[in-house]
Amino acid sequence: MKAITQYKYGSPADVLELQDINRPEIKDDQVLVEVRAAGTHIGDWLVISGLPYLIRLMGFGILKPKNRVPGMEMAGVVKAVGADVTEFKEGDEVFGWGKGAFAEYAAVSEDALVLMPQNASFEQAAALPISGFTALQAIRDKAEVQQGQKVLVIGASGGVGTYAVQIAKSYGAEVTGVSSTRNVELVRSIGADHVIDYTKEEIAENGQHYDAIIDTAGNRSLSQLRRALTPRGRLVIVGGTGGRWFMGVGRSIRAQMLSPFISQSLGTFISKTTKEDLVVLKELVESGKVTPVIDRTYALSDGAEAVSKVGERHSQGKLVITM
Ligand SMILES: NC(=O)c1ccc[n+]([C@@H]2O[C@H](COP(=O)([O-])OP(=O)(O)OC[C@H]3O[C@@H](n4cnc5c(N)ncnc54)[C@H](OP(=O)(O)O)[C@@H]3O)[C@@H](O)[C@H]2O)c1
């Protein structure tokens, strides 16, 4: 099968190649998925580049990557099932998360797959899992967004942000998105009630306060973010920027340390991959409350270009590789 492979850390253009390799063998609890589309996200760029160095200590390989084929989210068609698999059969259209998604076939645990949303294309379904989990868990579990609350999504046009805006709206919030000028209309089109163009105006400048702030852009100071929160508001730090070692982790640590001593709640989190939440995302799409935003699709042979673009951190929604 054709697959994008990686044998060392470095820039996607330097270390990713398109190769012919054997199809993965499935274990008894796994499904062989004929991948039709694979989502990309900043996590792919981090694992491919090996930066920040902290990521290498998180089990991805110290000197070189452990996984030969990158890619963590996909949608496709079941080609074969392991002996213990009960939920799926050959021909089912599924989506989910797993290793080695940038390939024509991937071996994926039954527990990491769900039948595709009935109204979604392979590209849309592949764009859902990782960014969708992050947005859902940020809004529902960390910010605990309630009907009528004011929510600010910073980085509203990105992979996580486009889901966060739509999911916050589905919880009945009044949503303000923050983006650059070229993305103002996109952010409005996915349901944001207000948009702040950060090239013209900064948050907290207009005197507006929010019950929850979801920060995916990661480049504002804690004090600036706190000034835009209500006295009991919740800040959820989703992403950080800067530094080859820790990439903005210092700000997250400071937020967690300060939080117990103030009335505002400041926190961060690492999203969890769960089948229950994959079902929630599927239902949000089927109910029309969430529509994945696809910036661009790339052929598998152009996978390195897709991951390089993700690393620039100005995607308009998600970049998807199609097989
Ligand atoms: N905690 C977790 O478990 C978890 C999981 C997934 C991702 N993340 C993190 O979440 C962050 C976002 O990921 P993503 O996939 O959404 O990235 P992305 O698709 O690259 O989106 C980043 C967005 O940030 C916006 N942006 C850039 N500079 C900005 C600024 N100064 N002010 C406001 N917005 C700005 C960009 O919009 P413009 O083009 O309009 O500037 C872009 O839409 C990353 O740091 C990633 O590591 C964390």
- Tens digit of each residue's pLDDT (9 = 90 or more) over 180-208: 999 999 999 999 999 999 999 999 888 89
In the predicted structure, residue 40 carries a pLDDT above the cut 80? yes
Instruction: State the pLDDT confidence band at 54, using cuts at 50, 70 and 90.
Output: confident
Please give the pLDDT value at position 128: 98
List residues bridging with 266 in a β-sheet.
235
Between 55 and 121, where is the model more confident?
Answer: 121
- Pairing assessment for the beta strands 150-154 and 210-215 based on DSSP bridges: parallel
Q: What is the mean pLDDT of residues 290-316?
A: 96
In the predicted structure, residue 62 carries a pLDDT above the cut 90? no
- Tens digit of each residue's pLDDT (9 = 90 or more) over 113-171: 999 999 999 999 999 999 999 999 999 999 999 999 999 999 999 999 999 999 999 99
Which residue lies with its CA nearest to atom 22 of ligand 1? 158
In the predicted structure, residue 250 carries a pLDDT above the cut 90? no
What number does the ligand 1 atom closest to the CA of 317 have?
A: 19
What number does the ligand 1 atom closest to the CA of 270 have?
A: 3
Region of 247 (left: φ > 0; alpha: ψ -120 to 50; beta: rest) is left
Going by C-alpha positions, the residue among 168, 133, 189 that lies closest to residue 316 is: 189
- Tens digit of each residue's pLDDT (9 = 90 or more) over 114-125: 999 999 999 999
In the predicted structure, residue 65 carries a pLDDT above the cut 70? yes
Please give the pLDDT value at position 241: 67
Which residue lies with its CA nearest to atom 44 of ligand 1? 239
Residues 6 or more apart whose CB falls under 8 angstroms from that of 214 comprise 135, 138, 139, 143, 151, 152, 153, 154, 161, 164, 168, 236, 238
Tokens of 126: 């592949």
- Long-range contacts (CB closer than 8 Å, 24 or more residues apart) made by 91-97: 93/122, 94/31, 94/33, 95/120, 95/122, 95/125, 95/126, 95/128, 95/129, 95/278, 95/282, 96/129, 96/278, 97/72, 97/73, 97/129, 97/130, 97/273, 97/278
Pocket (CB within 6 angstroms of ligand 1): 41-43, 131, 134, 154-155, 157-161, 178-180, 183, 198, 216-219, 238-240, 269-271, 313-315
Q: Residue 105 to residues 76, 94, 321: CA-CA distances in angstroms? A: 9, 13, 13
In the predicted structure, residue 29 carries a pLDDT above the cut 90? yes
Domains in the chain, please, with CATH? 2-128+292-322 (3.90.180.10), 131-268 (3.40.50.720)
Tokens of 132: 């969708």
Please give the pLDDT value at position 159: 97
What HEC string does 45-103 produce?
HHHHHCCCHHHHHHCCCCCCCCCCCCCCEEEEEEEEECCCCCCCCCCCEEEEECCCCCE
Measured in angstroms, how far is the CA atom of residue 218 from the centroid of ligand 1?
7
What number does the ligand 1 atom closest to the CA of 240 have?
A: 45
Task: Say what angle helices 129-136 and 159-170 make with each other, to 10 degrees.
Answer: 50
Q: What is the mean pLDDT of residues 273-280?
A: 98
Please give the pLDDT value at position 244: 57
Please give the pLDDT value at position 247: 59
Please give the pLDDT value at position 56: 80
Average pLDDT, the chain: 94
Between 172 and 53, where is the model more confident?
Answer: 172
Please give the pLDDT value at position 243: 56
Question: Could you tell me where the DSSP H helices lie in the chain?
Answer: 12-15, 42-49, 122-126, 129-136, 159-170, 184-189, 222-227, 249-258, 275-286, 303-311
Please give the pLDDT value at position 323: 95
Instruction: State the pLDDT confidence band at 263, using cuts at 50, 70 and 90.
Output: very high
In the predicted structure, residue 245 carries a pLDDT above the cut 60? no
- In degrees and rounded to multiples of 5, residue 218 shows phi and psi of 75, 15
**pLDDT exceeding 70 applies to what percent of the chain?**
98
Burial (CB < 10 A; 0-12, 13-18, 19+), residue 119, is exposed
Ligand 1 pocket mutation pick from 216, 236, 310 by most atoms within 8 angstroms of CB: 216
- Element holding 214 (H helix, E strand): strand 210-215
Ligand 1 pocket mutation pick from 137, 187, 251, 313 by most atoms within 8 angstroms of CB: 313
In the predicted structure, residue 233 carries a pLDDT above the cut 90? yes
Are the CB atoms for 37 and 122 separated by under 8 Å?
Answer: yes
In the predicted structure, residue 248 carries a pLDDT above the cut 70? no
Q: What is the mean pLDDT of residues 241-264?
A: 79
Which residue lies with its CA nearest to atom 14 of ligand 1? 159
Rounded distance, CA 37 to CA 152, Å?
31
List residues bridging with 179 in a β-sheet.
197
Rounded to an integer, what is the distance from CA 305 to the centroid of its chain? 18
Which residue lies with its CA nearest to atom 27 of ligand 1? 217
